[in-house]
């Protein structure tokens, strides 16, 4: 691209400083127009305009365009109220400006701008930051819970699992984990208890994500299902193994019905108690769905047996 069209931060910075009024709109901008008609904030006092202009200073082009239309937009007006330009505000850290031909432009003071806006009553971006920080804390707690729940025999491999589990647990790693576990817990029911307790740690989602939480499931699937039922028969309903059993037995898998119809009624009855004690109420719904599927499969088999006897 010719240098005639290269992004010049000073041009945009000067454009913002020239504005007599800056209106902030929610929902971003499209085709250099705010997506909202009414602004959520209007800045017209010179001192505040100067503060905002400093915080809207940009440093460089990012070299790429965000695929969304922005979270907010700044509409720049001259002293007669005529629109000078509209800048999309993306994710608190970049501006979309038509005068930048090679991507969105990076804000030099993104965090300060977010705080300044929140102090003026517009908390959209500050709320997003708070949510992301809460998610980060939740993820850290879930990772700590998952690591602590891991059998001591495999806990040292947690960093390796985190590094390699993104594409599923590699066969080589699964073999190593299974071997280490069997050395400490030779009996299959003992292995199952340890793995079920591990499956109880982490986020507790039944989808298997974050992916490292699927490590326990992968190892459980290598054991006979009867070993799992034997393991559960030996621990009270308050044992974390039962919470892990909920996540293992009631998780979504394409072959669900093959597994579900093998669960004995004695196990179903304890699972019913456990899911209703779960903090996540979706487990109760999941239980009902799975139990209904198992009952339907049993009824179909019974009808097939009756027809076979009559035939």
Asked whether the whole model's pTM tops 0.85, one would answer no
State residue 4's pLDDT score: 46
Neighbours of 118 (CB within 10 A): 16
State residue 311's pLDDT score: 61
**Mean pLDDT in order along the chain per 10 residues (311 residues):** 60 94 94 90 97 94 89 95 94 90 91 96 93 92 94 94 81 94 97 96 74 90 96 96 94 73 93 89 89 86 80 61
Distance of CA 298 to the CA centre of its chain: 36
């Amino acid at each position: 691209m010719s240098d005639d069209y290269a992004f010049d931060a000073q041009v945009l910075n000067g454009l913002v400083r020239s504005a007599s009024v800056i209106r902030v709109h929610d929902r971003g901008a499209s085709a250099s127009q705010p997506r909202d008609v009414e602004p959520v904030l209007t800045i017209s006092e010179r001192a505040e305009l100067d503060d905002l202009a400093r915080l809207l200073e940009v440093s460089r082009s990012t070299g790429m365009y965000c695929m969304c239309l922005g979270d907010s937009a700044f509409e720049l007006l001259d002293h007669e109220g005529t629109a000078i330009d509209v800048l999309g505000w993306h994710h608190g850290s970049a501006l979309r400006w038509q005068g930048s031909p090679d991507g969105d432009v990076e804000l030099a003071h993104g965090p300060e701008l977010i705080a300044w806006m929140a102090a003026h009553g517009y908390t959209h971006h500050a709320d997003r930051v708070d949510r992301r920080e809460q998610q980060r804390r939740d993820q850290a707690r879930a990772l700590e819970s998952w690591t602590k729940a891991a059998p001591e025999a495999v806990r040292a491999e947690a960093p390796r699992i985190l590094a390699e589990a993104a594409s599923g647990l590699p066969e080589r790693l699964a073999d190593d984990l299974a071997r280490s576990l069997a050395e400490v817990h030779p009996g299959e029911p003992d292995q199952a208890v340890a793995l079920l307790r591990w499956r109880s740690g982490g986020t507790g989602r039944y989808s298997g994500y974050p992916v490292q939480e699927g490590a326990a499931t992968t190892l459980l699937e290598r054991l006979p299902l009867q070993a799992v039922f034997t393991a559960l028969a030996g621990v009270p309903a308050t044992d974390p193994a039962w919470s892990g059993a909920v996540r293992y037995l009631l998780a979504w898998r394409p072959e669900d019905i093959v597994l579900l119809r093998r669960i004995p009624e004695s196990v179903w009855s304890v699972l019913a108690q456990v899911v209703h004690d779960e903090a996540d109420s979706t487990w109760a719904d999941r239980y009902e769905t799975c139990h209904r599927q198992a009952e339907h499969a049993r009824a179909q088999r019974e009808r097939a047996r009756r027809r076979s006897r009559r035939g």
